[in-house]
Amino acid sequence: RPEIEKFISDNKMTSDEVSKSYSKFYEYLKEKNKFDNNEKTALSGHEPFLIMNCGYADVVYRETEEVIKRRKKAEFVKRLNRNSIVRDMTIKKASFENFNAGTDEEKRALAFAKEVSEYYYTGGEGNTVVSGPAGTGKSHLAMSILKDCLQHTDLTVIFASWSEVLHLIKDSFDNKDSFYSTEYFMEVFRNTDLLVID
């Protein structure tokens, strides 16, 4: 196989090294064939590569772009959800991309939210207070800011539906097994870079 020949000549392998690498070449070809035919490889979603290891060939498996993308997305969601309390499930899906900026007011709100996001992900500090009529997208844009910041930095973020937080704390007074004590929230909120109190 030309790729094996190339590997041998690139690494200037001696015939002794080549013969000691037969089993690895065999493994590589077998797995590479499976990978190219979209069959399950030894490590699913990973592509086999040949490397030199102490004078012999060895096979390593690297994640494909698709696996990396899937893993990054899962990590992203985990970072956002770790301590968030979101009561309105529609807000979980909110982002700048799905904010409908039809009216001038909505356009201004979106531009403002993007400015706020950039302010925080470039190191800005302090609070931003947003008020306005019900159902106009305050929570939507607040969640969008957190997601945008996560995409630009390693800041830790939390979205907290405040009425739900109060409910959980109140519930913990009578329920000694409850995880959600006042101390728990104080600890979590204090150690977060960016906190939305909704």
Ligand X SMILES: Nc1ncnc2c1ncn2[C@@H]1O[C@H](COP(=O)(O)OP(=O)(O)OP(=O)(O)O)[C@@H](O)[C@H]1O
Task: Choose, by CB under 6 A, the member of 15, 38, 44, 100 that binds ligand X.
Answer: 100
By C-alpha distance, which of 140, 145, 146 is closest to 94? 140
Residues 120-149 that bind Mg ion (CB under 5 A): 138-139
> Look-up: residue for tokens 């979101």?
86
Bridge-based pairing of strands 56-63 and 46-53 is: antiparallel
Partner residues linked to 160 by β-bridges: 85, 197
By C-alpha distance, which of 78, 68, 55 is closest to 8? 55
Total Cβ atoms within 10 A of residue 77: 13
Closer of 23 and 163 to Mg ion (Cβ): 163
Closer of 57 and 142 to Mg ion (Cβ): 142
Closer of 21 and 139 to Mg ion (Cβ): 139
Nearest distance in Å: CB 168, Mg ion: 18
48: contact with ligand X by CB under 6 A: no
Nearest distance in Å: CB 194, Mg ion: 17
Applying CB under 6 A, which residues contact ligand X? 88, 90-91, 94, 98-100, 106, 134-140
